[in-house]
Structure 1
């Protein structure tokens, strides 16, 4: 039932998707050639895939993770895939991003390495899932999941925004007497980007992800709130004579699904059997596929970015007050359709878990947690 309803909904979406794609051909909203990008969690998995793709597109890439051995291997892998540009540069930095001061250090090191200029794009990908039942999780695991899956992204986002806006905030007092006197320029610098990486699990409660999904859902809420706040800064700075020197900042959240990676393989070793049952029909993507889908969404200028068809359907079912992608018409119509579909999908998921428990007990017929 789960896959059938989602598949039917996806088919219904094909016509408006094709129509909107033909009507909304726009220039690349995410140029990276010659720009400096920080990627956290980039020693393996999705992060490594994104680093490779952006290097191929001509970006200067700084990869960040904890494990130096993995970072060195990833850096060489990225160099080999890079565009043939003599000016292209790469660096790796070992850091524990669950500590706020480490995020500040990363921004400062990259700024120094980048000739005194802060990075143009910061993409927080670092994260890990420990798929356990909520009642089985000890306090340390609960805190660790929040630290790496929420705070590491939130800290990096704030550190980046402070580096970008700080000099202008420090010199800002009040709007000039005549706002019309503010200098205007035909050529403004390209936007800077903060990109947070959540998960499609943030949209739907699934047995086994009770300690992973909440921090990922919190990242979406953070993005919505920061998106709103950015309008305050952009509006205030627009009235200053120096407004043409201040790049606009855009924030996005990416919601990948299952990725074939060392991290996912480790998850499968401890995942509850009923979690396998719930996601058995979910699509699986390679690190290159998820990277390509995420970057394509950024190039379209999307705000909430899905990497597969299932993610789109899950997002449409929980749009609430988040800004819509593109014109917003497709998002609105699909949210109506998917919310109707959830009348069937939600109960079916709950019945799957109930039936599994009835047939197997809590942990399976052998009674072990796993």
Structure 2
């Protein structure tokens, strides 16, 4: 039985929709006080309404993680509302498609600024409060795309997600004396608004390439993040957990046929 995290202060970036919304929902259901963070005020309000109607405690703050000053204000808001920060889920990310021959400098800058710099800025902003907590936990949402796999059109996205893993390994050493852990969850294909926009044929094809024959849910990622936030995970830092239904395991489509 895991130690309860009820009453702990949790900040989730990119929580207005998709995986971030799922992460926030899992923590709220576990009794945490959740600050949902994003750029879309209306979407954030919808997330807060959903969590509170389910019996959770949640509030929102608008923040663009590309801006360090806004990240600092995000941390101050968590301190003002919750009295501290125990867990940061650095989840904010974007995944626009652009092939190398078409990718403009602005395309690369936007992805790296949100996915990689936004992660670093969020950690920096919350670090004093996480240290003060005495049991600080940071969970970064990376991806299988970049660290393990590739997909045409997402080279900038893959680079940003691989960069997050390089960041957490050194950050883990720097943060260990502060009793703060930092780990990453690597989602496979998760059913969110973004994937649904790619069409049902894409979703069906992806499900056929996964040994469990289904795509994941945002709650699957939230459960992994919740584990990293527990007392029982306190001796784990600088590590990665792949949550993909076995997607990266087959060496070929023939291997799936042999199942």
Short-chain TM bin: 0.7 to 0.9
Task: Provide the C-alpha distance between the structure 2 equivalents of 1:190 and 1:158, rounded to a whole number of angstroms.
Answer: 16
Pick one of 70, 88, 92 that aligns with 2:43: 70
1:224 corresponds to which residue? 169
Task: Kindly tell me the number of residue pairs found equivalent between the two proteins.
Answer: 241
Pick one of 113, 118, 124 that aligns with 1:158: 124
How do 1:243-282 residues align onto structure 2 when only pairs under 5 Å count?
Answer: 248-266=179-197, 268=198, 281-282=209-210
Please say if 1:99 is aligned against 2:67.
yes
2:242 corresponds to which residue? 306
How do 1:1-370 residues align onto structure 2 when only pairs under 5 Å count?
Answer: 28=2, 31-83=4-56, 89-114=57-82, 117-165=83-131, 191-201=135-145, 202-231=147-176, 233-234=177-178, 248-266=179-197, 268=198, 281-282=209-210, 283-296=214-227, 298-299=229-230, 301=233, 303-310=239-246, 313=248
Aligned to 1:285, the other structure's residue is in SS state coil
CA RMSD of aligned residues (A): 2.7
C-alpha change, 1:80 and 1:65, in structure 2 (3 Å) is: same
C-alpha change, 1:109 and 1:138, in structure 2 (3 Å) is: same
* Runs of 4+ more than 3 Å apart: 162-165, 276-280, 296-300
Aligned to 2:10, the other structure's residue is in SS state strand
List alignment gaps of at least 5 residues for structure 2.
none
- Per the TM alignment, residue 277 of structure 1 is displaced from its structure 2 partner at its CA by 7.6
Q: What are the Cα deviations for residues 197-248 of structure 1, in whole angstroms up to 9, with x where unaligned?
A: 11111222332321111011000110001112223x34xxxxxxxxxxxxx2
Structure showing greater radius of gyration is: 1
Task: Provide the C-alpha distance between the structure 2 equivalents of 1:297 and 1:227, rounded to a whole number of angstroms.
Answer: 13
Aligned to 2:76, the other structure's residue is in SS state helix
Structure with higher helix content: 1
Aligned to 2:155, the other structure's residue is in SS state coil
> Does the Cα contact within 8 Å between 1:121 and 1:192 map onto a contact in 2?
yes
> Does the Cα contact within 8 Å between 2:215 and 2:245 map onto a contact in 1?
no
> Does the Cα contact within 8 Å between 2:13 and 2:90 map onto a contact in 1?
yes
> Does the Cα contact within 8 Å between 1:198 and 1:253 map onto a contact in 2?
yes
Aligned to 1:79, the other structure's residue is in SS state helix
Task: Provide the C-alpha distance between the structure 2 equivalents of 1:298 and 1:43, rounded to a whole number of angstroms.
Answer: 21
- Give the TM-score taking structure 1 as reference length: 0.59
Q: What are the Cα deviations for residues 18-63 of structure 1, in whole angstroms up to 9, with x where unaligned?
A: xxxxxxxxx537x421101011111111111111111111000100
Q: What are the Cα deviations for residues 106-147 of structure 1, in whole angstroms up to 9, with x where unaligned?
A: 001111122xx3211111111111133222212111111111
Task: Provide the C-alpha distance between the structure 1 equivalents of 2:129 and 2:217, rounded to a whole number of angstroms.
Answer: 34
List alignment gaps of at least 5 residues for structure 1.
1-26, 84-88, 168-188, 235-247, 315-340, 349-370
> Does the Cα contact within 8 Å between 1:63 and 1:93 map onto a contact in 2?
yes
